Amino acid sequence: MLRLESVACSYGAKEVVKGVSFTLGVRDVMCLLGANGSGKTTLFRAILRFLPLTRGEVFVDGESIAQWPRRKLARTIAYVPQAHTPPFAFKVRDVVLMARTAHMNSVGAAKRHDYEIVERALESMGITELAETEYTQLSGGERQMVLVARALAQEAKLLVMDEPASGLDFGNQIRMLTEVRRLSERGVSVLITTHSPNHAFLCASRVAVMKAGRLLACGAPESVLTSSCLEEAYGVPLQVIDIGNGNHTCVPAASRLRPQIGWEGSPDLPRRWSDMSI
Amino acid sequence: MKFVLLSLLLVVVTVASVVLGRYHISIAAWRRFLLDPRNGDVATAVLLRVRLPRILGGILIGAGLSASGAAYQGLFRNPMVSPDLLGASAGAGLGASVAILLNCGAAAIQGISFLAGLGAVGLTCFVAGRVRRGNDPVLAMVLSGVMVASICSALVSLTKTVADPEVKLPAITFWLMGSLASIDNTNIVWLLALIPVGILVLMFMRWKLNVLSMGEEEAASLGVDTRRARWIVVLSATVLTTAAVSLSGMIGWVGLVIPHLTRMIIGPNYKGLLPASVILGSAYMLLVDDISRSATAGEIPLGILTHLIGAPFFLYLLVRTKQGWA
């Protein structure tokens, strides 16, 4: 379905993604993991053509998407951004109807068919009663559901979701990830980023782990989500525990936590735990 | 329903504007005019040569400024944006000042002002295209627009300091204040040709404006060619603003307050927002012009009134709106 061939891209002179290749099959849910600054979001932006590639190519069904017009791209790949507050109070139904832009004629007159698809998308996310509400009045979790409904109404084969569980409470995170899993049963492929390996255990059929712009590992969750791989990705001691029934969870390896970890990232923070004078 | 009421408002204001004015037109004169518009009465001459062009001009200018303001607020995702954002009126003001300084006739002042307005926005877009910081073309345009407008207003001040204080300085000053008084049978053609076209193009873009207001990347991911859409919107909004301003002078606040108010009445969907802004903007412009014509013996420049009414009204909206931007 989706194939990346040594994709690289950069912000200015700084190369952030340094040659990433993977394939995503039909009905696959691929979870992209990695520390802050590992290039996950940049890779997403490259796939969606928000950023030009410096090397490599992205293929959908064997066809390079580099020259596709936006309309064609939008009918193939739907993007679920992180929920944000737009400046104007559109009705939820109008927000979801925006998904039909790529299917409308250039004047943008919605037909009955478009409204029916919008209703179905709202229904399948269980948010029909929100249709007339103002989008800006919704909670973060509801907004995220609306954005997923919008992606569904776009009728694309691939859904790209940027941290769909961020900002959601514990229950909504699980609901959202279960929903992601259900999406794949309808025949769409899903590519999501997340900050928690446990989310990958919940919904992914494939996992890719990024570090410093490269793929550290890519494959089935059981083979990729090991303590050694995750420790390498996040730079903290971690432990993957079998909790029975074939389920796993990832927790900090507390006994090894205190002495040896250095903060990566902000130089203003104490470099080591021991530097912190608590 | 809301559209019917708004249209009714426009009709009422238009009728009132035709009836009101410093030259009183008797009922008998009205009857003669309606029976035979070609009779030689003074009243007929006043109506045909002065009042009706001015009213039509007011409608078109109000409509154009409101439509372009509404479009810009969506494109720049900010309800505080006015049609002047990219330097259109500042450029037009500079063009007019220079034309007055050079002893140009009325038609030339208008033409130079129009071209200078287009030129200023062109310069803004050119500079914004060179900005290679970050990935936000909209922000680059806003910043370049502020800069170009600032340069234009500095140059306007320069023309004022070198202008002859007896004749040209007052002419420049009055031009900048804005008025519908100079609209007549010939230059109204200018507005009739440009403003409906600009509004029509924006109406074609109404759905894309909705999508663009969600953000550049989101719009692109939904299938909008954002670069192309941005060009079409900026071009038509600029033609609308410059066509209006080159004839009426600077008229502030209309393009900011009216779309805002309309959004409170109709909602943010451009399908309704754009036509409703056009209607409400026309009615508002006529109303303010009526005040400008009738409130005092002399004429209060329209631009002063739109500021005096617009700014406090906007403050009222700010206080009334409890959360977010309606």
In this prediction, residues A79-108 reach a mean pLDDT of: 89
Whether A154 sits inside 8 A of B135 (CB atoms) is no
Please report, as a single letter, which amino acid is at residue B307. Answer: H
Q: Is A92 exposed, middle or buried (0-12, 13-18, 19+ CB in 10 A)?
A: buried
Which chain A residues have a beta carbon less than 8 Å from that of B225? 69-71
- What residues are paired with A2 via a beta bridge? A24, A60
* Tens of pLDDT, residues A184-209: 888 899 999 999 999 999 899 999 99
pLDDT at site A271: 46
A107 in contact with B, Cβ within 8 Å: yes
Which chain B residues have a beta carbon less than 8 Å from that of A65? none
A16 in contact with B, Cβ within 8 Å: no
Whole-number Å distance between alpha carbons of B213 and A90: 10
The residues, ordered by sequence, that sit 6+ positions from A82 with a Cβ below 8 Å of its Cβ are A162, A163, A166, A167
Edge to edge, the sheet with strand A189-193 lists A77-80, A158-161, A189-193, A29-34, A206-211, A214-219
Residue B221 has its nearest CB partner, among A79, A94, A95, at A79
For an interface test with B, give the residue of A10, A41, A70, A136 to mutate (most B CBs within 10 A). Answer: A70
Contact indicator for A36, A206 with CB cutoff of 8 Å: no
In this prediction, residues B113-128 reach a mean pLDDT of: 96
Whole-number Å distance between alpha carbons of A190 and B257: 44
What is the residue extent of each domain of chain A? 2-220
Q: Is A158 exposed, middle or buried (0-12, 13-18, 19+ CB in 10 A)?
A: buried
Which chain A residues have a beta carbon less than 8 Å from that of B222? 74, 98-99, 101-102, 154
Whether A74 sits inside 8 A of B223 (CB atoms) is yes
* Residue (of B216, B38, B58, B80) closest to B135 by Cα position: B216
Whether B267 sits inside 8 A of A70 (CB atoms) is no
Quote ipTM for the complex.
0.88
Contact indicator for B274, B202 with CB cutoff of 8 Å: yes
Whole-number Å distance between alpha carbons of B180 and B231: 30
Whether residue B323 has pLDDT greater than 60: no
pLDDT at site A262: 52
Residue B220 has its nearest CB partner, among A50, A87, A94, at A50
Give the residue from chain B lying closest to A78, CA to CA.
B221
Q: And the tokens for B35?
A: 């029976």
The Cα diameter of chain B in Å comes to: 68
Whether residue B226 has pLDDT greater than 50: yes
Under the banding of pLDDT at 50, 70 and 90, the label for residue A22 is very high
Contact indicator for B292, B299 with CB cutoff of 8 Å: yes
Distance from CA of B77 to the nearest CA of A (A): 6
Q: Is B178 helix (H, G, I), strand (E, B) or coil?
A: coil
- What residues are paired with A59 via a beta bridge? A3, A64
* Residue (of A233, A178, A226) closest to A204 by Cα position: A178
Residue with tokens 């009134």, as numbered in its chain: B305
Whether residue A276 has pLDDT greater than 50: no
pLDDT at site A274: 46
Class of the domain covering B11-320: mainly alpha
Whole-number Å distance between alpha carbons of B67 and B64: 5
Whether A101 sits inside 8 A of B224 (CB atoms) is yes
- Domain A2-220: CATH architecture, name and number where available: 3-Layer(aba) Sandwich (3.40)
The CA distances from residue B261 to B51, B202, B276, B304, in Å, are 28, 19, 10, 20
Whether residue A101 has pLDDT greater than 70: yes
Whether residue B110 has pLDDT greater than 60: yes
Alpha helices in A86-139 (DSSP H): 92-97, 112-124
pLDDT at site B31: 82
What is the residue extent of each domain of chain B? 11-320
Which chain B residues have a beta carbon less than 8 Å from that of A13? none
A251 in contact with B, Cβ within 8 Å: no
Distance from CA of A107 to the nearest CA of B (A): 5
Give the lowest-confidence range in A173-182, A221-230, B30-39, B314-323.
B314-323
Residue B213 has its nearest CB partner, among A81, A88, A154, at A88
Which chain A residues have a beta carbon less than 8 Å from that of B221? 48, 50, 74, 77-79, 81
